[in-house]
Amino acid sequence: MSGLQASEEDVEEQLRTFMETLTDSEIYREFVDASEALDEDSEASALLREFQEKQQRMQRDFDQSLMSELQELQSEMDDNETIQRHREAQEALVELLQETNDVISEQIGREFAQSTGGGCC
């Protein structure tokens, strides 16, 4: 076995441990629970969908009345417990993932996070 192969296996093992620890963390579990709660809450899901649709329309064509509707929807979303729970859980998870990226990037002396989305915007 070459040195590189051995190194790759060590990396794979640590990667598995990292992913297992991450998905077993309280922060990740709360994100999953909050996502499921959002999926099961038809009122919250509809509110979120309506907001996203109007936001996309707004990006294509600015309209003052649409802006007012968006502000009203935003206010409703701010008052919606399920949406707020999901938002907070998502923010906590993103913050944790960013911290893991900082830790790993420091070790390897370059940015660990790679964009794999295949294109921007």
Partner 1 sequence: MLLSASEEDVLAAAEALGEELAAMESDASPAEFQTVLLQCNEAISEETGVQYGDVCGAGGSC
Residues that bind partner 1 (CB under 8 A): 3-4, 7-8, 10-11, 13-15, 17-29, 93-94, 96-101, 103-109, 111-117, 120-121
Q: Is 84 exposed, middle or buried (0-12, 13-18, 19+ CB in 10 A)?
A: middle
Q: How far is the CB of 89 from partner 1 (least distance, A)?
A: 11
Nearer to partner 1, 71 or 105 (CB): 105
Nearer to partner 1, 26 or 61 (CB): 26
Q: How far is the CB of 13 from partner 1 (least distance, A)?
A: 8
Nearer to partner 1, 64 or 118 (CB): 118
Q: Is there a contact between 112 and 101 (Cβ–Cβ < 8 Å)? A: yes
What are the C-alpha distances in Å from 2 to residues 8, 12, 22, 108?
A: 10, 15, 30, 21
Q: How far apart are CA 117 and CA 105, in angstroms?
A: 20
Q: How far is the CB of 67 from partner 1 (least distance, A)?
A: 22
